[in-house]
Structure 1
Amino acid sequence: IFGGGPDVFPVVSLAKQLGWHITVIDHREPFADPKRFPEADRVVLWQEEPFPDTVRIDHRTVCVVMTHHYLTDKKILLHLMRSPAAYIGILGPAKRAKQLLDEVRDELPLTCEITNRIYSPVGLDIGAETAEEIALSVIAEIMAVLHNREGGSLRERRGPIHQR
């Protein structure tokens, strides 16, 4: 999770309940404090390029960008787009993400392989308003992506609910 603001707490909590390994990365020293995120497995301060070698991103990694800092989000996005991360979620309005992607395009061509991994606005459309509801929406979307599902209502599903 890129960002250490208060809206990150419920995302960390829900992800931890699912048994996921959580790393919180923030560019602000007071926010990148392990005491703020006792449920996180790691908390990393990242202020300068290059990206920390200690943070490994592979094809199983899911990332959510929620720093609320445009220039930092742009740097993070560039790094994530070059990585094999399975999921790159960008918090915020679609217009902001489009602007970010337009600017990033100048430095890195946006291939289908890259754009297929980017989810913005992040989360499923469940009417989320509060930080907790948004966290549920985000985590549910990530689960759907990881399990190659649409994230729709089970009422609409044809066939078995569970893979056997």
Structure 2
Amino acid sequence: MDKEICQGLRKVFEHSLEAALITVTSALGSTPRKPGAKMLVFADGTTVGTIGGGCGEAEAKREAVKVMATLTPKIYYLNMTAGVDQDEGMVCGGIMGLFIDYWGSQSSVARTKPHKEYLSSLESNDNPVLVTVFEAVEERLIGKKLFLKNNGDVLGDLGIEELNRVALESAKAGGKKFYPLLISLDSEFKLCESSITKAAFRLLIEPPTTVVQLLILGAGYIAQPLVAMAKILGYEVTVVDDRLSLANSSRFNSADRFICNDFERALDDININAQTFVVIVTKGSYSDKVCLWKVINQPARYIGMMGSYRKVKALKAELEEEGVGRESLKKLYSPIGLKIGAETPEEIAVSILSQLIKVQKRLA
């Protein structure tokens, strides 16, 4: 969930506001946003986030107001096949499924509690995977939630024990992805294809974030094109280096964050989780070793390090002698990047990002 949406929801609870959260659950044809996109609508008409601007967003807001009036969540299909944005000359030719959920002061304690706990879990970096019932044969189940923390704790309840079981199995799989997962179940709680069999239940499984966090350790000649290309791909990028002449805003004005500090101290303050991809391209073997020591046992999705086979082999042997487990070291991608014959900094950046994408898509 985006930070601005989280902040908006926190505001709802802290100030006892009325709001409805719109989540895109499906997208058929040409649509401005994909499943997982969110927009928070307040009772005064202000919004946080977007589901696509002029293409039907006003219609979605009107439906959100209705949800706030009835205090009842709903699924709504936004047909944009005839929608034209006159200013932009843009025609949207698709249909978006929207789940509109009431988040406000008039919710029952049973509904408000999981909402608050989920927000707290996100803010505590517990990386919770959220499961929401957005269609069900029993109306009382619509909007029910549970979430799975990275330590295995489960909070919330979908109202039926068998539904909880299937949801948790799906959450464990969905948490490893960077995009929401939709599942349809028949009356026997078995997965089904909703276009063939009428689904009794439909669940939305949302990972803690859909944004890849790229941590680049080293601000040298490869880091600049790597940052530029990573931002085009939508990554959230942090650059760390201990040299002020390199780790500064003039060289990395497109990075989300740059840190000029000793690598060891900087890494002590950075949250590395299952959505983090780490690239080690420091100035030399010593700093490479420091960085690898600090991150190798972290739950990062990817850890790659620049270096020759000989250098990497020697470095891994040193770390193993110093107590780092051999199995942990097997996680390291090095020499870094896909073999595409890269020579220039830009080509090497393409090679590294190609490998990141391959891992992200679970192809490596």
* Range into which the TM-score falls when normalised by the shorter chain: 0.7 to 0.9
Does 2:280 correspond to 1:47?
Answer: no
Report how far residue 125 of structure 1 moved: 0.7
Unaligned runs of 5+ in 2: 1-215
Distance 1:145 1:20, change over 3 A: same
Report how far residue 97 of structure 1 moved: 1.1
Residue 157 (structure 1) aligns with: none
Tell me how large the CA RMSD over aligned residues is. Answer: 1.5
TM-score in terms of structure 2 length: 0.39
8 A contact 1:16–1:39 mirrored in 2: yes
Question: Which residue identity does 2:237 align to in structure 1?
Answer: I
Distance 1:147 1:74, change over 3 A: same
Instruction: For 1:118 and 1:17, locate their aligned partners in 2 and report how far apart those are by CA, in whole Å.
Output: 25
Does 2:283 correspond to 1:87?
Answer: no
Instruction: For 2:228 and 2:266, locate their aligned partners in 1 and report how far apart those are by CA, in whole Å.
Output: 25
Residue 141 (structure 1) aligns with: 355
Distance 1:27 1:137, change over 3 A: same
Report how far residue 116 of structure 1 moved: 4.0
Does 2:331 correspond to 1:117?
Answer: yes
3-state DSSP of counterpart to 1:16: helix
3-state DSSP of counterpart to 1:72: helix
Residue 65 (structure 1) aligns with: 280
3-state DSSP of counterpart to 2:236: coil
Moved more, 44-53 or 12-21: 44-53
Q: Relative contact order: is structure 1 or structure 2 higher (C-alpha 8 Å, sep ≥ 6)?
A: 1
Distance 1:55 1:97, change over 3 A: same
Instruction: For 1:37 and 1:87, locate their aligned partners in 2 and report how far apart those are by CA, in whole Å.
Output: 22
Report how far residue 76 of structure 1 moved: 0.4
Residue 6 (structure 1) aligns with: 221
3-state DSSP of counterpart to 1:64: strand
8 A contact 1:62–1:86 mirrored in 2: yes
Count, aligned residues = 149
8 A contact 1:25–1:32 mirrored in 2: yes
Per-residue CA distance 1:108-151 (angstroms, 9 max, x = gap): 33242x2342100000011111111111010000110111114x
Instruction: For 1:140 and 1:110, locate their aligned partners in 2 and report how far apart those are by CA, in whole Å.
Output: 28
Unaligned runs of 5+ in 1: 151-164
3-state DSSP of counterpart to 1:63: strand
Report how far residue 100 of structure 1 moved: 1.3
Report how far residue 82 of structure 1 moved: 2.3
3-state DSSP of counterpart to 1:39: coil
Residue 156 (structure 1) aligns with: none
Residue 154 (structure 1) aligns with: none
Report how far residue 49 of structure 1 moved: 3.9
Residue 153 (structure 1) aligns with: none
8 A contact 1:46–1:52 mirrored in 2: no
3-state DSSP of counterpart to 2:217: coil
Question: Which residue identity does 2:356 align to in structure 1?
Answer: I
Distance 1:134 1:49, change over 3 A: closer
Question: Which residue identity does 1:149 align to in structure 2?
Answer: L
Per-residue CA distance 1:36-84 (angstroms, 9 max, x = gap): 1011000012216444443211111001100131111111000011211
3-state DSSP of counterpart to 1:22: strand
8 A contact 2:241–2:263 mirrored in 1: no
8 A contact 1:24–1:44 mirrored in 2: yes
TM-score in terms of structure 1 length: 0.84
8 A contact 1:86–1:117 mirrored in 2: no
3-state DSSP of counterpart to 1:82: coil
Does 2:244 correspond to 1:29?
Answer: yes
Instruction: For 1:17 and 1:11, locate their aligned partners in 2 and report how far apart those are by CA, in whole Å.
Output: 10
Instruction: Identify, as 1 or 2, the structure richer in strand.
Output: 2
